[in-house]
Amino acid sequence: MLKGRSSAHCNSIEEGVPRPSGPDEQEAWPSGPAAANLPAEVSGSELSGPDEQASGPSGQAEVSGPSGPLESESVQLIVEGAEAVAPEPPAPSSTQTPVPSSPPSSSTAPPAPQTFKKPQPRTISSPTPFPSQSTSSPASSTPISPPPPIFEVPPVSSSAGASSSSGPPSSGPSDIPPTTSHSLLHPSPPPSFITIIPEGAQLESPYLGKIKDEFEEVILRSVLKVGDHIHREDSSNSAPKKRKISSTSSLSSEPLHPPLWFSLTVDNKSKPLYREYLQKVVFATLVNLPFLILSDHFYVILPYTPLTKTEKSKIFSIGHSKTEEQWARGHRELYKIFVLAKSARFPPRDHSLTLLEWFQIHHKHCWAPFIQKEIKMSRHFQLFNNYRYVHRLPKVQFSQFKQAIDALGSADTHSEAIQVDFATLQMPEEILLPPIHSLVMDSSVGSIIFERFARVMGRIKVQKGFQVAFHRFLFREYHQGHVRAEVLAPILSECERLTPSDWARFYPLSAQQLLALNECQAREGHPLVLEATFLDMSSIHLVQDPFQIWVERYKVYVALCQELKAKQNFYPISVDQLLARASFGSISFKEVSLDREAYANFLDEQLALHLKRMAPSIGPKYTIAPGVFRQVFEKQEEHAWEIISHFASLLSPAFYLPVPSQNE
């Protein structure tokens, strides 16, 4: 018996003019088997991943979350149900990031790029406990409020451009509900095949007028809105860090022209860049992720393109913001087309067609067919990746999937539908670089994110018996508000763009490091290291040691929960309390660790859970006086800590929390 108690702890598109709407989608993780016989009453998020909080060091701007232990778990948990109560996406996902009336400033030419990216070898320190967790939930954490250049998109069903229906209509196995943090772990059962209709077999019809899939229509309208972005000429002196719109910005009442996308259609060399941007926006929209406006996307990717300095500058010089009269003088032929469209507008509207509206219509006519095809391909890819996830197969990149589909179509007559069997679809081996996890590691919060990844993956491995791909974890963290849009959006712009040879060209320092490594490999008779493997070695592979540590910790914790349940002891215990007992010998009795009011509320909650547990066997009329229940609970608490102390002794010192140096 323990005697002493110590403390520790385009809404509608009118006349072809799209209105704003938002982006969304993500991949999801299937619900795996629940932890065997874990206490159904363990009310803790230890094995309910979505409840875990990642809070970075004090003052960390990029990772948000409640201050408090990474996971607050009381022993009432762990069946699959704990994962099922994943919090809803963070507040920013309910509305689009405010976009100022005048587009944000950006330079006339891209800022001088860094000569190279420098992925430095990093080591993941042995995970240390995060600060004590507050009672706030992930959704109540500091809201993500990215600067104007970043768009965060609301769920499709609630976006401004969505129709009145609450979700996409049912249209068979290809339906994909809006992505949430929960659906990333538990996707809807995907089909085992898809049917693709080649362009040659499709009837010619207006690309937008006869869209029958409401979900795709909403996504299309949303993505088309990126064409409204104007590159402001007066931003040329602004440093990239100071792109926020200030109250002193000159806001002309006269609309400026042209939108930046227009400069990308003048030169054929630039069109692939805009196609690539639209592909990324489509993906971000489907998965409900943030994306950069076009100017800032170019600031990220132009240093890693084969364009000359003159060609890069031309993109921005053509896109300089001008008044209608100034633009008309330089583009007489196009302006004549606008004037004709303005005079031919029928039926009449309450105002004449403006140049801004004409650009919106022109953008839709130029790019809507491409966007619609990308939406379909991205939805097919999401189903395919969910299929591979459910069947425990490795993740593939979108570029690999697209190449595989193109290979099937090239051998076809383009006049008949192609059925794609997910089980037999052959993937090309080459992937595009750099991968997401490499860029995350090079970011300002890379070490924090990877330490949390090790912990969460350790829990999932013990609970479900399998691991989860890093990108699913990262997207879920964003949905829960733990990763800021300012961190994720530039990474999504830069990732998975280059072939290995192009990567070596545009990241020369990393390429030199790889060359030196392969020279050593050759001297020692070892096989050469590929570019993708090299980037994995300095990022995702560093997680293996802390991951194994957390696996062992959670094994003991799960065994502890099972033992408590077997003894009908439903005392709430967290893995952090178990580790604190093993490392420092501390015991945290609730009466000591909580103030009087909090302890009274805690007992009320435990009493409610007790009555709920007893109702099936004794009946709904069973009751117990609060004073009597308190005595029962405190006695149960003492017995629980005896069991906890035993299991804490089973932990190897290698799995303890780091002990502070005696000299400190």
CB under 8 Å to 429, separation ≥6 — which residues?
Answer: none
**Rounded average pLDDT over 148-154:** 59
**Rounded average pLDDT over 521-536:** 96
Q: Is there a contact between 288 and 155 (Cβ–Cβ < 8 Å)? A: yes
Query: Which is more confidently placed, 271 or 8?
Result: 271
Residue 646 has pLDDT above 60, yes or no: yes
User: Band of the pLDDT at 375, cuts 50, 70, 90?
Assistant: very high
Residue 271 has pLDDT above 50, yes or no: yes
611, exposed or middle or buried, with CB in 10 Å at 0-12, 13-18, 19+?
middle
Q: Is there a contact between 146 and 296 (Cβ–Cβ < 8 Å)? A: no
Q: Cα separation of 507 and 647, whole Å?
A: 49
CB under 8 Å to 642, separation ≥6 — which residues?
Answer: 1, 2
Q: Cα separation of 97 and 94, whole Å?
A: 9
pLDDT of residue 212: 56
Domain edges within the chain: 42-97+147-243+254-421, 436-545
The dihedral built from the CA positions of residue 554, 557, 563 and 566, taken in this order, carries a sign that is: negative
Phi-psi region of 172 (alpha: psi -120 to 50; beta: other; left: phi over 0): left
Q: Cα separation of 51 and 396, whole Å?
A: 28
Distances (CA, A) of 464 to 30, 47, 71, 459, 540: 10, 10, 18, 8, 21
CB under 8 Å to 514, separation ≥6 — which residues?
Answer: 504, 529, 531, 534
Collapsing DSSP to helix, strand or coil, 34 comes out as: coil
User: Band of the pLDDT at 56, cuts 50, 70, 90?
Assistant: very low
User: Band of the pLDDT at 232, cuts 50, 70, 90?
Assistant: low
User: Band of the pLDDT at 337, cuts 50, 70, 90?
Assistant: confident
pLDDT digits (tens, 9 = 90+) for 388-399: 999 999 999 999
Collapsing DSSP to helix, strand or coil, 193 comes out as: strand
Residue 14 has pLDDT above 60, yes or no: no
* Helix 596-618 and helix 626-650, axial crossing angle in degrees, nearest 10: 90
Q: Cα separation of 217 and 35, whole Å?
A: 41
pLDDT of residue 315: 85
Instruction: Give the amino acid at 206.
Output: P
Q: Cα separation of 118 and 107, whole Å?
A: 25
pLDDT of residue 317: 79
Query: Read out DSSP for 545-613?
Result: HHHHHHHHHHHHHHHHHHHHHHTT------HHHHHHHHHH-----HHHHS-HHHHHHHHHHHHHHHHHH
pLDDT of residue 424: 95
Q: Which residues pair with 286 in a beta bridge?
A: 24
pLDDT of residue 610: 95
**Rounded average pLDDT over 169-195:** 72
Collapsing DSSP to helix, strand or coil, 440 comes out as: helix
Give the least confident one: 90-94, 316-320, 406-410, 522-526. 90-94
- Which residue is listed with tokens 């189903």? 383
CB under 8 Å to 59, separation ≥6 — which residues?
Answer: none
Residue 343 has pLDDT above 70, yes or no: yes
Query: Read out DSSP for 1-13?
Result: -----------S-
Query: Which is more confidently placed, 125 or 169?
Result: 125
pLDDT of residue 87: 37
Q: Which residues pair with 259 in a beta bridge?
A: 230
User: Band of the pLDDT at 36, cuts 50, 70, 90?
Assistant: very low
**Mean pLDDT value across the chain:** 74
Q: Is there a contact between 227 and 261 (Cβ–Cβ < 8 Å)? A: yes
User: Band of the pLDDT at 407, cuts 50, 70, 90?
Assistant: confident
Query: Read out DSSP for 313-362?
Result: HHHHHHTB-B-HHHHHHH-HHHHHHHHHHHHT--S--SSPPPHHHHHHHH
pLDDT of residue 179: 84
pLDDT digits (tens, 9 = 90+) for 547-573: 999 999 999 999 999 999 999 999 999
pLDDT of residue 347: 61
**Rounded average pLDDT over 295-313:** 93
Q: Which residues of 199-211 are buried (b: 16+ CB within 10 A; e: fewer)?
A: eeeeeeeebbeeb
Give the least confident one: 132-146, 206-220, 612-626. 132-146
The secondary structure of residue 134, as a DSSP letter, is: -
Q: Cα separation of 91 and 143, whole Å?
A: 6
518, exposed or middle or buried, with CB in 10 Å at 0-12, 13-18, 19+?
middle
Query: Which is more confidently placed, 213 or 54?
Result: 213
The β-bridge relationship of strands 73-76 and 42-44 is antiparallel
User: Band of the pLDDT at 229, cuts 50, 70, 90?
Assistant: confident
- Cα Rg for the chain, rounded, in angstroms? 28
User: Band of the pLDDT at 609, cuts 50, 70, 90?
Assistant: very high
Q: Is there a contact between 558 and 37 (Cβ–Cβ < 8 Å)? A: no
pLDDT of residue 153: 57
Q: Cα separation of 432 and 280, whole Å?
A: 14
Q: What is the three-state SS of 43-75?
A: EECCCCHHHCCCCCCCCCCCCCCCCCCCCCEEE
Query: How many of the other CB atoms lie within 10 Å of CB of 297?
Result: 26
pLDDT of residue 660: 58
Residue 160 has pLDDT above 90, yes or no: no
Percent of the chain with pLDDT over 70: 65
pLDDT of residue 469: 93
Tokens linked to 290: 């943030």
User: Band of the pLDDT at 658, cuts 50, 70, 90?
Assistant: confident
pLDDT of residue 413: 52
Residue 128 has pLDDT above 80, yes or no: no
Q: How many alpha carbons lie under 13 Å from residue 588 in its C-beta half-sphere?
A: 20
pLDDT of residue 324: 87
Residue 256 has pLDDT above 90, yes or no: no
Collapsing DSSP to helix, strand or coil, 91 comes out as: helix
Instruction: Give the amino acid at 484.
Output: R
Tokens linked to 247: 């109250």
pLDDT of residue 332: 86
Cα 296–chain centre separation: 19
pLDDT digits (tens, 9 = 90+) for 410-462: 544 556 788 899 999 999 999 999 999 999 999 999 999 999 999 999 999 99
pLDDT of residue 119: 43
pLDDT of residue 341: 85
pLDDT of residue 448: 95
pTM of the model: 0.72
pLDDT digits (tens, 9 = 90+) for 353-370: 888 888 999 899 999 999
Q: Is there a contact between 375 and 369 (Cβ–Cβ < 8 Å)? A: no
Q: Cα separation of 634 and 602, whole Å?
A: 12
The secondary structure of residue 166, as a DSSP letter, is: S
pLDDT digits (tens, 9 = 90+) for 57-103: 333 334 443 333 334 333 333 333 333 333 343 443 333 433 333 33
User: Band of the pLDDT at 140, cuts 50, 70, 90?
Assistant: very low
pLDDT of residue 220: 92
Element (H, E) at 616: helix 596-618
Give the least confident one: 41-50, 117-126, 513-522. 41-50
Q: Is there a contact between 341 and 246 (Cβ–Cβ < 8 Å)? A: no
Residue 144 has pLDDT above 80, yes or no: no
Residue 525 has pLDDT above 90, yes or no: yes
